[in-house]
Amino acid sequence: MRMLMLSLVALLGLAPVAQAADKQDAVPASAFTVPDLPYAYDALNPVIDTETMKLHHDKHHKSYVDNLNTAVHEYKDLQGKSIEQILQVASKQDATVRNNAGGHYNHSLYWTLMAPKGKGGTPSKELLAQINKDFGSLDHFKTQFETAGTRQFGSGWVWLIWNGSKLAIASTPNQDNPLMDDAKVKGFPLMGNDVWEHAYYLKYQNKRADYLHAWWDIVNWNTVNNRFATAQK
Ligand code: MN3
């Protein structure tokens, strides 16, 4: 019976039409994907627990990517654009595109900004010199970064950015970031910490400041150094 149906489909010339329809509805080739974690789920213990990493990467980040792909599929003008290009026109997008594009960029960066304790290196000579110049010392910078993260009301991110001539700390609400064309403080993000409760609540509950303070133990300075070097070019 199945063979007969297939023959009929072929005879009637339906197969190519069906294929074309499938192709149109499929996720486009340029679809965004969740990058693999560059370490195991449990690699950041005890600063970030295994369950938080699994939920955060596999569920939260995935949902930003899925929602972004659905939106891009719908909005033809966004197709073929890189995530950075979409962020550059964030002010012209609806909330779905804005939040999910920001969510995808921010999380893709966040995973690379962390490493198992003892594996993340230290600030490069160049970055440290700039931190000393703009914040007085590495300790002063860390304190100001933690304070900005603690003060961000509700969900958001805290950033270290390079604005072309100096370093600055900024915080953004929701999934906004300093690359968005309408960001209050614009610049190239060297480092960003996620202060949404989903990033820390299982272990730290309401103590966001404790999470921000503990986070330094797993910062991947090698990534930050590379981003700083790239931003200088
Ligand atoms: Mn998050």
Q: How close is the Cα of 18 to the center of ligand 1, in Å?
A: 39
Q: How close is the Cα of 226 to the center of ligand 1, in Å?
A: 23
Q: How close is the Cα of 158 to the center of ligand 1, in Å?
A: 12
Instruction: Find the mean pLDDT for residues 10-16.
Output: 38
196 close to 156: Cβ distance less than 8 angstroms: yes
pLDDT number for residue 111 = 98
The pLDDT tens digits for 40-50 are: 999 999 999 99
pLDDT number for residue 30 = 54
Does residue 128 surpass a pLDDT of 70? Answer: yes
Does residue 10 surpass a pLDDT of 90? Answer: no
Q: How close is the Cα of 61 to the center of ligand 1, in Å?
A: 7
Q: How close is the Cα of 106 to the center of ligand 1, in Å?
A: 8
Q: How close is the Cα of 101 to the center of ligand 1, in Å?
A: 13
Cα–Cα distance between 61 and 39 in angstroms, integer? 16
Q: How close is the Cα of 16 to the center of ligand 1, in Å?
A: 43
> Across the chain, what does the average pLDDT equal?
90
- What is the value of pTM for the model shown? 0.87
Q: How close is the Cα of 71 to the center of ligand 1, in Å?
A: 20
Residue 8's pLDDT band, with cuts at 50, 70 and 90, is very low
pLDDT number for residue 19 = 39
Q: How close is the Cα of 20 to the center of ligand 1, in Å?
A: 37
Q: How close is the Cα of 52 to the center of ligand 1, in Å?
A: 10
The pLDDT tens digits for 163-215 are: 999 999 999 999 999 999 999 999 999 999 999 999 999 999 999 999 999 99
Does residue 26 surpass a pLDDT of 80? Answer: no
Cα–Cα distance between 178 and 162 in angstroms, integer? 10
Q: How close is the Cα of 192 to the center of ligand 1, in Å?
A: 11
pLDDT number for residue 64 = 98
Q: How close is the Cα of 210 to the center of ligand 1, in Å?
A: 17
DSSP lists the bridge partners of residue 114 as 219
Q: How close is the Cα of 220 to the center of ligand 1, in Å?
A: 17
The pLDDT tens digits for 69-101 are: 999 999 999 999 999 999 999 999 999 999 999
- CB-based contacts of 51-56 (< 8 A; 24+ apart in sequence): 51/202, 52/198, 52/199, 52/200, 52/201, 52/202, 52/203, 55/198, 56/107, 56/194, 56/198, 56/199
Q: How close is the Cα of 162 to the center of ligand 1, in Å?
A: 22
Residue 28's pLDDT band, with cuts at 50, 70 and 90, is low
Calculated CA dihedral for residues 112, 114, 117, 119, nearest 10 degrees: 30
